[in-house]
Structure 1
Amino acid sequence: MNVPDRSSAPSLLRRPRRPRRPGRAGFPRSLAAAVGALALIGTFGGAAAASTPAPGGAGSGPAASSGAVPPVVPQPVSERPGGGPAFRLTARTELVTVAGDPRTRQVADYLAGLLAPATGFHLRTADRPSAAAAPADALVLDPHGPAALGAEGYTLNASAGAVRLTAHGAEGLFRGVQTLRQLLPAAVESATVQPGPWTVPAVRIADRPRYGYRGAMLDVGRRFFPVKDVERYIDQAAAYKMNTLHLHLTEDQGWRIAIGAIPSLTAIGASTQSGWTGGTDWYYTAAQYRQIVNYARSRFMTVIPEIDGPGHTSAALASVPNLNCDDHTIAPYSGFGGANLRTYCLSDPQHIANVTAFLTTVMNTVAGMTPGPVIDAGGDEAAEATQAEYSAYVGAVAKAVGDTGKRLMGWHNLAEGPIPAGTLLQYWGDDNDRKTVGTASPSRDIQDVQQGVAKGADYIVSPADRSYLDMQYDTSTPYGLHWEGYVPVERAYDWDPTTATAKPDGTGSVIPADRIEGVEAALWSDRAYYGSNQLPTSTSQFPEQSVYADFMVYPRLPAVAEIGWSPLSTHDWDTFKLRLAAQGPRWNAAGIGYYRAPGVPWPSGS
C-alpha cells in the first residue's frame, strides 16, 4: 500500500472538475428523421404507456393485469396492452430466426443463454424461411423489418400464441431482447434454476432510440478492472440499451494497454493504481484488449479507447524519458490528485517532436486493435500547459488520430486547440456553467463549447453534476466524491441534453440540438474505497471492483440510459421511479449490489 502525502490530494469539497470524452464517427445524432417514415407504416402511431403499474415482487409477472403495461426501462416509444392471456415459455418453446444471417443467429444464441440458467430450459433454435413458417408457441426473431425502424429500432408483439420480435437487422433484435427479458418475471435474471412459471404478458411495443450514441464510461486508469469485471460492466450497460463503452485507459495512476513498441509503458506505467504499487499485470495485453472489444461487439457495443493528454499523463512520464523536459522519467504516481500534475513537455520543437512521435506510435497501435470509428484523446485538466503547449498537443494528437482513419474525440476542453471539423467533444460542465450562459462573462467551460461549436464539433452530453457516477448519492455513501455535490438518482434522471448548455430557464442553448449525438454515464474510480472522504490507510478499504461499480452504477445508469433512449415526452420522474423500482427484484436475482435509493418505492425484500 502506498498512501501519498495528504498534501497531494485536493480538497474533496473543492475538487476541480475533470472532463472525459467519448468519440464517434458514424453514430447518428438521433432518429428523429425516421419518425416520418415510421408513421407511414403505423409503427409509432401512439403515445407511450398510458399507465405504469406498481412494482411487483420477484416471482410475479411484470404486469398485474391485461389492462396494465409492463414496467420497462428505458421507456419504449409506444407500449400498449395486447389483450388476452400471456405467452408461456416452456421447455418445448422453439427459438426461431427468420432467414437469419450469422449475427441474427448470435442474438438467438444469446437469448437462449440468458434464459437457460433460471428456467433450466435449453431452447431449440432453428432458422425458418419466413415468420409464417414458425411453429406455434415460438419466440420469433425476424431481422427483415422495414428500414424505417433504423439500425436499433424494433417491434415486439406478445400474445398467447407467440412472441415476435421484428427489426431491420440483428442490432435492433438485440435491443428488443433487452425489453423481452424485462417482460419475464424478475427471477429470470437468476444464475440458478427457479420454479417459474415463465410468462410474457400480452403486449405490443414499438421502439427506437432518441440518440444514436448512448455511452457508459469506465475509468480503469486509477483503479484497474480485470477483464471479467469489464465484461460484467458491458453486460450491465447493454441490458439498458447502452451501445458504447468508453474505456479511460491511461491516467496519472496507470497506463492500462500494451503498446508493443514501448514496453516500458506497462512495465513501469502499469505498476501503480490510486493507493497501490507493485503491480505486474495491471494492464490489458493486446489479446485481452481484443477480448474486451469482441465481447462488447457481441453485445452490440462499440469500444472507444481513451488515451488521455496532455495532462493525466504521469504514468507515461514515468515510462518514457523524452516526454519530460529534462529527459528523465519521473517516479510512478499512486496518489489521489491529478488536476495539477505535470503534463507532456511541449515547450520546444524537439520535445514537441518527441511527443508527436510517441502519440503516432500509440495511436497507430490502438487504432489497429480497435475496429470502432473513434479514438478519444482526452484534453481535460491540463492546467500546467500554456495555451501554446496545449495547442501543440491538440495539433499533434489530431493528426495522429486522423492519420489512422479514426474520428477524433475528446473532452470539451479540446476545443481550445486546433480541432478538425467533425470532432466529437464530450461536455462535462454543470449547472454553475449554465448560470453564465448568455451573460457577459460565460464560464471557461461555456467558452470552450462556443469555440467547439464554431469549429464544427459535435457533442456527447454528460454533465458532471448529473451523469458522473462516482459522485456520492448523499452523505451516507461509502465510496466516491462530492466535488459536484451529491447526485441522487432523481438528479441523475432530471435533466435533458438539449438544455444542458442552456440558460437556467431552458433557452439559449450553446450546443444546437442537431449537434448533440448522445449522452454518457461516466464511472470514475478516484475514490473506489470505503471511507472515501478521507485518504485510505490500508488496501483493505478497497472492495472488489465489481462491488464498487454495482453500488455506484445502480440505479443511476438506467436513469441516464433512459435519457438517451426514450422520447423526451415520456420523461417524468413520478412514473420513472415506479418502473425503476420494478428493476430492484431483477438486480437482486442477478446478484447486483445496488443502492436502495430513498424516494424510490422498492418492493419489500428487494
Structure 2
Amino acid sequence: MKSFFWGLCALILCFNLQAQESYQLIPKPAKLTPVPGKFLFQKNTVITLSTQDESFNAVATMLKDQISLSSGLNLAIKSSSASSKGVVFVQNASLGDEAYRLNISTKKIEIQAKSGKGAFYALQTLFQLMPAQIYSNVTSSYELTALACQIEDAPRFSYRGMMLDVGRYYFPVSFIKRFLDLMAVYKLNTFHWHLTEDQGWRIEIKKYPLLTSVSSVRKETMVGHYRDQKFDNKPYGGFYTQDEIKEVIAYASKKFITIIPEIEMPGHSQAVLAAYPELGCNPDKIYQVATKWGISEDVLCPREETFTFMENVLTEVMALFPGQYIHIGGDECPKKQWKESRFCQDLIKKLGLKDEHELQSYFIRRIDKFVTSKGKKLLGWDEILEGGLSPNAMVMSWRGTKGGIEAAKQNHDVVMSPNSFFYLDYYQADPKTQPLAIGGNLTLAKSYSFEPDLPELTAEEAKHIVGIQANVWTEYISTPAYAEYMTFPRALALSEISWSPKQPKDYDDFLRRVKGILPGMDALKINYCPVGLK
C-alpha cells in the first residue's frame, strides 16, 4: 500500500514537473496550476460576455478577430449570464486594475478581470498557451487549442516601459504601431516617445512652424563610429504631424498603453536653436541642426523668451497627449555657455543661486510649475536632481541606480532605467558578430539579472519605485528592422522583471521559456538577435 502511495505521489510530481515545462510563458505568471488536457476551439465555440462593461467587449472582439485571422474560425460573441462552456468573460470587481484570472479546462475558458485592461493581459497569456500560428495573419488549417491550467496573475509594477528615440532617426508611424503591438504582447504598458534631439525635432508645433521646416532636417549624418568622423553628405529629416500623433495615441489606447512624450530641455536642443537662435546664449550665432552624435554645448538660455517658447510648445504637446506625465529630459546639459553668459551670471546673482547647477534647477522648477498648472506631472532624467529636485517631479534613473535611490529617499516616484542593464543600443553579443552599435556589453543574462528591490531603501521608500524602463537610443540604429533586433530578446527580460513577482533569479528557467516562445516570435516575424537562443 505504501509503495502504491509513494508511486502515486511520484506520478503526480512527475506530471506537475512535465506540465510546468510545457507552460512557456513570458512574463511568468504570479501563480500557475497545471491542469490535464487542452481546450479545443471549434466552429461552434461561443465567446460569452457576462458583463455590460464595454471594455470587455473590445477585448472579446480582439480574440474573435485574431482567431478568424489565423484559423478561419468565425466565433460568435453573445451577451448573457456565465456559460458552462466556450470562452467566458466575467467581471470581478475584487481584482486589481491589471490583474486577471484565467481558468482553462477541456470544456471552458474563463477570463476574470475588473475591466478590459486585466482581460487584455489575460488574452496575451491565452495566446501564449495556444499554437504559435495564432499570431499569424494568414488563414491556415491547424488544430486551435489552449493548454489547460489555472492562473492568478497581477503585475509587480504599474510602470512597465519602453523608450524609442526618434530624434536621431525618424521611424514611420507603421513601425511605431508595430512597436506598440509587440510591447502589448509581453504586457508592457508605457511607451516613452523621445521626440526631440540635437539632431532632429520630430513633432509638429503649429505655433512654431520652423520646428518642422528647419529643425527636423539635418544636412548630413555620421557614417560608422563617431571616432571615424565620416558623413554621408545627404540631408535627413522627418516629423510626425499632430494628426499622426493623435492616430498613434488612439492606437496605443486600444492596447492599454500610455504614451509619454519627451521634449528635451535645456540641453539636447541644438535643433531648436537652428530655427530660433534667439533662444540661445549667443543669439547672433548661426546654428544648424546637429550632424554629430554626442553632447552639444549649444543649449537653451533661461531667458523669459525661452520660457514663453517652451510653455507654448508644451501647451500644444499636453493638448495632444492624455497621459499624466510629460518628460522634459533635463539630462546632459553642458554649463559652459551659461558660465560665459553675462545674462546667466547676472541671473544667478539676482536669484541668489549658488552655481549653474542651481540655475538648471531653476529652469526645471519653472517648467514644473507650468506643467503642474495644466494638470500634468513632470518627468525627467536623473540630472534634474542636480541643484535641487523640483517639487512635483518623477525621476527616471539612468546613470545606475544612485539617482533613483536619492529621489525615492526624497519621497519622489522613480522609474529605474539603469544604462548598464537597460540601454538596448549596447552590443548584446560579441561585436565581431554583430552590426554596428554604440558600444557596451549588455547580454540578455545581464538585463535579466537586474533587481529593482534595492537594499539602500526602506520598505516605505521602496514604494516610490513605480517601475522599470528599457531604452532604444538610435545614434547607430537607423532602420525599423535593426531597432527590433536590438530590442528583442532583451525586452523580454524587462517584461518579466517588471511584471512577475520578486523571486530568486533563475536564468536557466527564463532562457528555457524564451526558447519556448520562439515559435510565437517567429510567427510575429520579430527580428530578434538569435545569439544563445538557437
The verdict on a shared fold, with TM-score over 0.5 as the criterion, is yes
> Following TM superposition, by how much is the alpha carbon of 1:284 offset from its aligned partner in structure 2, in angstroms?
1.0
Residue matched to 1:214: 160
Question: Which TM-score applies when normalising by structure 2?
Answer: 0.87
1:301 and 2:289 correspond: no
| Cα offsets for 1:358-386 (capped at 9, x unmatched) | 11101111111111111011111112353
Of 96, 114, 121, which residue of structure 2 is paired with 1:150?
96
1:478 and 2:430 correspond: no
| Cα offsets for 1:178-211 (capped at 9, x unmatched) | 1000000112212212332111111000000001
Change (3 A) 1:362 1:306: same
Residue matched to 1:591: 525
Letter in 2 for 1:457: H
Of 189, 192, 204, which residue of structure 1 is paired with 2:150?
204
Residue matched to 2:481: 547
| Cα offsets for 1:141-199 (capped at 9, x unmatched) | 22x2142x200000000011111110111100001111000000112212212332111
1:527 and 2:476 correspond: yes
Question: Is contact 1:51–1:68 with CA below 8 Å preserved after alignment?
Answer: no
Residue matched to 2:201: 255
Residue matched to 1:325: 281
Of 89, 94, 118, which residue of structure 1 is paired with 2:46?
94
SS class of match (1:296): helix
- More displaced 10-residue stretch of structure 1: 383-392 or 179-188: 383-392
State the alpha-carbon separation in 2 of the partners of residues 508 and 298 from structure 1: 36
- More displaced 10-residue stretch of structure 1: 418-427 or 164-173: 418-427
Question: Is contact 2:201–2:211 with CA below 8 Å preserved after alignment?
Answer: yes
Question: Is contact 2:192–2:259 with CA below 8 Å preserved after alignment?
Answer: yes
Residue matched to 2:344: none
Question: Is contact 1:422–1:456 with CA below 8 Å preserved after alignment?
Answer: no
Letter in 1 for 2:307: T
Letter in 2 for 1:339: I
State the alpha-carbon separation in 1 of the partners of residues 122 and 328 from structure 2: 33
Question: Is contact 1:319–1:329 with CA below 8 Å preserved after alignment?
Answer: no
Question: Is contact 1:498–1:511 with CA below 8 Å preserved after alignment?
Answer: no
Of 399, 409, 413, which residue of structure 1 is paired with 2:369?
399
SS class of match (2:426): coil
Residue matched to 1:560: 494
State the alpha-carbon separation in 2 of the partners of residues 51 and 566 from structure 1: 24
State the alpha-carbon separation in 2 of the partners of residues 88 and 333 from structure 1: 58
Backbone CA RMSD of aligned residues: 2.4
Question: Please, which runs of 5 or more residues in structure 1 have no aligned partner?
Answer: 1-49, 54-62, 347-351, 435-445, 500-505, 529-541
Of 335, 338, 345, which residue of structure 1 is paired with 2:301?
345
- More displaced 10-residue stretch of structure 1: 388-397 or 407-416: 388-397
Of 227, 232, 245, which residue of structure 1 is paired with 2:191?
245
Aligned length: 491
1:110 and 2:56 correspond: no
More strand by percentage? 2
Change (3 A) 1:195 1:114: same
Change (3 A) 1:64 1:52: closer
Question: Is contact 1:421–1:455 with CA below 8 Å preserved after alignment?
Answer: no
State the alpha-carbon separation in 2 of the partners of residues 570 and 115 from structure 1: 36
Residue matched to 1:173: 119
Residue matched to 2:229: none
Residue matched to 1:415: 385
> Following TM superposition, by how much is the alpha carbon of 1:117 offset from its aligned partner in structure 2, in angstroms?
2.3
> Following TM superposition, by how much is the alpha carbon of 1:473 offset from its aligned partner in structure 2, in angstroms?
0.7
> Following TM superposition, by how much is the alpha carbon of 1:555 offset from its aligned partner in structure 2, in angstroms?
0.4
Tell which structure's C-alpha radius of gyration is larger: 2
Question: Is contact 2:396–2:416 with CA below 8 Å preserved after alignment?
Answer: yes
Residue matched to 1:71: 24
> Following TM superposition, by how much is the alpha carbon of 1:309 offset from its aligned partner in structure 2, in angstroms?
1.2
More helix by percentage? 2
Question: Please, which runs of 5 or more residues in structure 2 have no aligned partner?
Answer: 1-11, 223-231, 339-355
Change (3 A) 1:509 1:64: closer
> Following TM superposition, by how much is the alpha carbon of 1:319 offset from its aligned partner in structure 2, in angstroms?
1.5
Aligned ranges for residues 130-529 of structure 1 at < 5 Å?
130-131=81-82, 134=83, 136=85, 138-142=86-90, 144-147=91-94, 149-272=95-218, 274-275=221-222, 278-279=235-236, 282-328=238-284, 330-346=286-302, 352-384=303-335, 386-430=356-400, 446=402, 448-449=403-404, 452-453=407-408, 455-474=410-429, 475=431, 476-482=433-439, 485-499=440-454, 512-528=461-477
Question: Is contact 2:71–2:142 with CA below 8 Å preserved after alignment?
Answer: yes
Residue matched to 2:350: none
Aligned ranges for residues 23-102 of structure 1 at < 5 Å?
68-83=21-36, 85-102=37-54
Letter in 2 for 1:313: S
State the alpha-carbon separation in 2 of the partners of residues 510 and 289 from structure 1: 39
Change (3 A) 1:227 1:261: same
SS class of match (2:470): strand
SS class of match (1:203): strand
Residue matched to 1:44: none
> Following TM superposition, by how much is the alpha carbon of 1:388 offset from its aligned partner in structure 2, in angstroms?
4.2
Question: Is contact 2:217–2:289 with CA below 8 Å preserved after alignment?
Answer: no
> Following TM superposition, by how much is the alpha carbon of 1:251 offset from its aligned partner in structure 2, in angstroms?
0.5
Q: Share of identical aligned residues, percent? A: 30
State the alpha-carbon separation in 1 of the partners of residues 314 and 422 from structure 2: 28
State the alpha-carbon separation in 1 of the partners of residues 459 and 198 from structure 2: 32
State the alpha-carbon separation in 2 of the partners of residues 278 and 337 from structure 1: 15
